[in-house]
Amino acid sequence: MASNREQFEVSGNMKTWSIGLMGVGILAFIIGFITKGLSSDEHQQAIFWGTLLYNSIFFLLICNASMFFICVTTLAHGGWQVTFRRVPEAISAVVPIFGLIAIFILFFIVFGLNHGDHNLIYHWRIPGNDQIILKKTGFLNPPFFVIWTLLSIGLWSYLGMRMRKLSQESDETSMNPEQGNRWIVRNTVIAALFTVWFGLTVGSTTPWLWLMSIDTHWYSTMYSWYTFASSFVTGMALIALFVIYLKNKGYLEYTNDEHLHDIGKFMFAFSIFWTYLWFSQYMLIWYSNQPEETTYFQPRTKEGVWKGVYYLNLVINFLCPLLILMTKNSKRNYTVMAFMAVLIIFGHWMDFNQMVMASISRDHVTLGWLDFGIAALYVGMLIFFVGKALAKVPLIPKNHPFLKESIIHHT
Amino acid sequence: MAGSKPNQMHLKYESQIREPLVDGNKDYHQITEDIIRPIEAKPSKLWYIGFSISVALLLFGVYSVYRDVTYGIGQWNLNKTIGWGWDITNFVWWVGIGHAGTLISAILLLFRQGWRTGVNRAAEAMTIFAVMCAGQFPIFHMGRVWLAFFIFPYGNTRGPVWVNFDSPLLWDVFAISTYFTVSLLFWYSGLIPDLATVRDRAKTKFRKFFYGTLSFGWTGSTKHWQRHEALSLVLAGLATPLVLSVHTIVSFDFATSVIPGWHTTIFPPYFVAGAIFSGFAMVQTLLIVVRKVLNLQEYITLGHIEAMNKVIVLTGSIVGCAYLTELFMAWYSQNEYEAYAFFYSRANIFSPYGWAYWGMMFCNVVSPQVFWFRKLRRNVVFTFFMSVIVNIGMWFERFVIIVTSIYRDYLPSSWSYYYSPTIWEIGFYLGTFGLFFTCFFLFAKYFPTIAVAEIKYVLKTSGENYKERMDKVEEQKVEEFAHDYAH
């Protein structure tokens, strides 16, 4: 194949789409800001900021999932993913940008949405006389929130950047096995640091702080692992989508059905894993039936208005992947995989929607034009920045010690 | 893309960076010799000593159980409010150990981890024996063991006496019996080609008959292999969810209740991680001995031990994350009963069982962190020591969960006195060790402890002598390599 296919170029079409989506998104943002953000109705304001909140966290976490994928495959000495490794690298390059936006939104909610005796989204911000919340302020307080948010996003960005730098370093000179081994060890060290930090943030504290604390009284030990599963499976779907796009454009010559098949396995397996965590959390709370815990599910099930979204979520994120991705052929079919990737991304975006919005607006479903508008803004930015990152470095890490294994990869 | 004809040489390529999975200058015949020979030789003195000790322990266990049945479980120190004590602790502990085998055979197969071939056979055997041990405890815990068949739902004349489908204890019956069946089938179907190899080499009539019967007339024809591979795939598919489901349901035994310290949503995945953690520790304990006694260091290499230690540090850290999450939520929830269970009964070292909690923390969370260091991961003696520490820690985990949550009920009048087991509770536990090791010694003597056929499968990609010949491919330019492969 021609050598120019090793270097990605952002096509006019891609540019148009990304800018178009961003345009739509900005328009939605402006109209939303005027009609809801500046509204005298506090509830409308809360919906506006809540929508920004879950979108910013969702898109940040699914991009960060790409770096998690790189790090765990590095730690496991995985070889199969090397031919398309530059794709998750490019996706993870968006983390600092989305991180900055998320920081701005989170901080604005904490500091800018205090109306008299309450905060519009985080009730712990002004606990008033609530004895339970008052006792939680050791964890739920602005200084800790600020420090932990900055640390979380800062270290994801920094360690991710180190991983990408190391990867690019390998493009400079070819390595003999001994040098290759040393390079792998250097990768392993940073990947281990990232993975541990990922566990301490995404796997535990950060979702409690950003998301679970919206229902300030409520608690569930599973919450963060659930959030992780949701964002990781979406991250895999995102990788699949970009791989398919690049393949269709004639790039990634060494990536073939075998690799796509394995990405499909990840999408399948982690959809089931997400369902497993969903079921465990739901069933245990349903079974013991304690009011402190069931309160979370009240707007979401039975008589709750969010019931439709909540169960549709389960159909899209569990039944569809289970039935459609089960066979070998579907995981090797570009069209089916592209469709499923879009569906999974949409399904988990809706999951994040209900996780946040059903807590902010318990009495009516808010899913509407603003949600899709803000999502369009994010998708536009995602395409734009990932495209840029892809064009920066060669698409194939040609000196990676496991590249040859990846080329002959057979699933 | 599809339709290309891969070059033979390139199909067998593996990066030089990876350690060989089979050391030494091996060919197919040598592998058969190395692994089958111990079966054909007379057992060593060491084997007889180990086997005798195991049988003695087993007999002590049988006597303890005989007493349990004759006099009732009143001879255990269970009391109000400690209705579950050593028995259920041991049950969960053994079930947990029984997780590594199927994880190695099914999930690591899906993850294409070549190193599993060196350890899967013994790990699967261990799984089956561990589940056998585990099953004893709930059965004898029932007290009137002769009515144990009441746990099965079938049309009967007992009127309203019927199983409770809402009870996780019943789900356990289904989960564990299914797991046992699939694990057994998986293990045995993998054994068939190897048993046929033993049969073909057999010199005595009896051995020919014995291994001939066990190998079901296997001839090694293409048809046989084809069916065998198809069956393995189906069983792997079935076994994968089972690895998760068994301990998930065991965790439901606790988490569906409203007992402080038991009712928490993270229990299912955290129990599974803990089970894999202890399972791998037990595999290490056994295989470090087996590789030495049977001279299998070239098949169970330092690389294998290192890989398992990586799984141990990973799962240990996941378990640690769950412990801390629970502890945090006990505070965050501002639920005073949770706080009592965690901060008074467990984390307070001066409380009656505080020592057990901190022992568990040390063994399961702190100590495996040493495996971040490569030198220690590859130190055989140290690994053996650590594997024992981990299993002690995991026993304490179950003990802490069970006993510290129930020894003080809501009313101080329902606080129990300090619980320590009687000799018959200990005897029962030791007896299961006897059963476990008796089975394992018999297995190691009469069956190939390493999957001969599977090792042969990885030899040409990962054998030391074959890897040495890959230098040329390693030096080849990527474009050339890809071109050669495609044509």
Q: Residue B10: list chain A partners with CB under 8 A.
A: 408
Q: Is A281 on the interface with B (CB under 8 A)?
A: yes
Question: Would you call the peptide bond into B81 cis, given omega within 30 degrees of 0 as the criterion?
Answer: yes
B33: its two tokens = 């010799």
| Average pLDDT score over residue span B25-46 | 88
Tokens of B179: 């797991």
Rounded to the nearest integer, the mean pLDDT of chain B is 90
Q: Report the pLDDT averaged over residues B130-150.
A: 92
**Among A181, A224, A398, beta carbon nearest to B478:** A398
Q: Measured between alpha carbons, how far is A194 from A95 in angstroms, rounded to an integer? A: 13
- Strand, coil or helix: what is A118? strand
Q: Write the pLDDT tens digit of every residue in B403-448.
A: 999 998 888 888 888 899 999 999 999 999 999 999 999 999 999 9
Say if residue B5's pLDDT is above 70: no
Query: What are the residues whose beta carbons fall under 8 Å from the beta carbon of A209, sequence distance 6 or more?
Result: A139, A140, A144, A145, A148, A149
Kindly state whether A402 is in contact with chain B, defined as any CB-CB distance less than 8 angstroms. yes
**Confidence check: pLDDT of B103 > 90:** no
- A290: chain B residues, CB-CB within 8 Å: 258, 263
| Least confident among A130-144, B286-300, B467-481 | B467-481
Q: What pLDDT is stored for residue A182 in this prediction?
A: 93
Q: Quote the minimal CA–CA distance from A135 to chain B in Å.
A: 7
**pLDDT at site B473:** 83
The beta-carbon contacts of B139-146 under 8 Å, at least 24 apart in sequence, are B140/B65, B140/B68, B140/B69, B140/B73, B140/B87, B140/B428, B141/B73, B141/B84, B141/B87, B141/B88, B141/B91, B143/B72, B143/B73, B145/B69
Query: What distance in Å separates the CA atoms of residue B199 and residue B208, rounded to the nearest whole number?
Result: 5
pLDDT at B38 over 90: no
- Whether B426 and B112 have beta carbons less than 8 Å apart is answered as no
Please tell me the distance from the alpha carbon of residue B391 to that of residue A250, in angstroms, as a whole number. 53
Confidence of residue B9 (pLDDT cuts 50, 70, 90): low
Contact B481 A407 (CB under 8 A): yes
Q: What pLDDT, on a 0 to 100 scale, did the predictor assign at position B457? A: 86
Structure tokens at B479: 């474009």
The label of the residue with tokens 């409770």 reads: B164
**Rounded alpha-carbon distances, angstroms, from residue B439 to B54, B55, B95, B108, B445:** 9, 10, 16, 25, 10
Residue of A nearest to B5 (CA): A408
Domain coordinates in residue numbering, chain A:
12-407
Inter-chain residue contact A79 with B321, CB threshold 8 Å:
no
How far is Cα B234 from Cα B246, in angstroms, rounded to an integer?
19
Count of CB atoms situated within 10 Å of the CB of A59:
28
Rounded to an integer, what is the distance from CA A133 to the centroid of its chain? 29
Contact, A90 vs A167, CB < 8 A? no
Which H or E run includes A115?
strand A114-115
Decide if B250 contacts B331 (C-beta within 8 A): no
Distance CA A42, CA A49 (A): 11
* pLDDT at site B205: 94
Contact residues, chain A, for B248 at CB < 8 Å: 276, 280
State the DSSP string of B168-182: HHHHHHHHHHHHHHH
Q: SS3 for B85-100, per residue?
A: CHHHHHHHHHHHHCCH
Nearest-neighbour CA in chain B from A33: distance (Å): 35
Three-class secondary structure of residue B113 per DSSP: coil
Tokens of B104: 């190695």
From first to last of its 411 residues, chain A has per-residue pLDDT tens of 444 578 899 999 999 999 999 999 999 999 999 999 999 999 999 999 999 999 999 999 999 999 999 999 999 999 999 999 999 999 999 999 999 999 999 999 999 999 889 999 999 999 989 999 999 999 999 999 999 999 999 999 999 999 999 999 999 888 888 899 999 999 999 999 999 999 999 999 999 999 999 999 999 999 999 999 999 999 999 999 999 999 999 999 899 999 999 999 999 999 999 999 999 999 999 999 999 999 999 999 988 999 999 999 999 999 999 999 999 999 999 999 999 999 999 999 999 999 999 999 999 999 999 999 999 999 999 999 999 999 999 999 989 999 988 998 887
Residues of chain A found within 8 Å of residue B263, distances taken between Cβ atoms: 284, 288, 290
Tokens found for residue B427: 């005897």
Q: What is the dihedral of CA B46, B52, B57, B59, to 10 degrees?
A: 170
Q: Which residues on B lie below 8 Å from A208 (Cβ)?
A: 332
User: Is the minimum CB–CB distance between A264 and chain B shorter than 8 Å?
Assistant: no
Chain A contact set for B18 (CB, 8 A): 77
Q: How far is A221 from chain B (nearest CA, A)?
A: 5
Among B478, B479, B480, B485, pick the best mutation site for testing chain A contact (most A Cβ within 10 A): B478
Q: Which residues contact A368 (CB under 8 A, 6 or more apart)?
A: none
User: Which chain B residues have a beta carbon less than 8 Å from that of A256?
Assistant: 1-2
| pLDDT reported for residue A1 | 42
Shortest Cα distance, chain A CAs vs residue B231, angstroms: 17
Q: What's the rounded Cα separation, in Å, for the pair B277 and B271?
A: 10
Q: Are B254 and B401 in contact (CB under 8 A)?
A: yes
Q: Which of A34-43, B14-23, B263-272 has the lowest mean pLDDT?
A: B14-23
In A195-224, the residues whose Cβ lies within 8 Å of chain B are 196, 199-200, 203-204, 208, 219-224
Q: Considering only residues 58 to 77 of chain A, which have any Cβ-Cβ distance to chain B shorter than 8 Å?
A: 75-77
Q: Is there a contact between B263 and A288 if contact means CB atoms under 8 Å apart?
A: yes
Q: Tell me phi and psi for residue B234, to 5 degrees.
A: -65, -45
* Res. B1 pLDDT band, cuts 50 70 90: very low
Q: Do B317 and A405 touch (CB under 8 A)?
A: no
Determine which of B15, B374, B470 to mutate to test the interface with A (most A C-beta atoms within 10 Å): B15
Query: Which conformational region is residue B415 in: left (phi greater than 0), alpha (psi within -120 to 50 degrees), or beta?
Result: beta
Average confidence (pLDDT) over B146-151: 90
| Structural tokens at position A68 | 């998690």
CA distances to A167, A229, B453, B472 from B457, in Å: 33, 35, 6, 22
How big is chain A by its Cα radius of gyration, in Å? 22
- d(C-alpha A331, C-alpha A86), whole Å: 21
pLDDT of residue B3 exceeding 50, the answer is no
**Inter-chain contact A204–B324, Cβ cutoff 8 Å?**
yes
Residue B442 CB coordination number (10 Å):
14
Q: Give the span between the Cα atoms of B286 and A295, in whole angstroms.
A: 48
CA dist., res. B363 & res. B393, Å (int): 5
Residue A118 pairs with which residues in a beta bridge? A115
> Chain A residue closest to B311 (CA)?
A76
Q: Long-range pairs for B302-305 at CB < 8 Å and ≥24 separation?
A: B302/B19, B302/B378, B302/B380, B303/B19, B303/B20, B303/B21, B303/B115, B304/B21, B304/B115, B304/B118, B304/B119, B305/B377, B305/B378, B305/B380, B305/B383
Structure tokens at A56: 């910013």
Q: Is A80 on the interface with B (CB under 8 A)?
A: yes
Q: How many CB pairs under 8 A join A and B?
A: 118
> Which one of B5, B265, B371, B480 would you mutate to disrupt binding with A, by most A Cβ within 10 Å of its Cβ?
B265
- Any idea of the CA torsion for A321, A324, A329, A333, to the nearest 10 degrees? -80
Q: Is A128 left (phi over 0), alpha (psi -120 to 50) or beta?
A: left
Nearest to A244 by CA among A333, A316, A330: A333
Contacts of A17 (CB under 8 A, 6+ apart): A380, A383
Q: Which residue of B has its CA nearest to A72?
A: B314
- pLDDT value for A68: 97
Chain A residue numbers with beta carbons less than 8 Å from the beta carbon of B482 are 253-254, 407
Q: Can you give the pLDDT at residue B8? A: 53
Q: Which residues does chain A have within 8 Å of residue B16's beta carbon, measured at their own beta carbons? A: 177, 180
Q: In angstroms, how far is the first alpha carbon of chain B from the final one?
A: 12
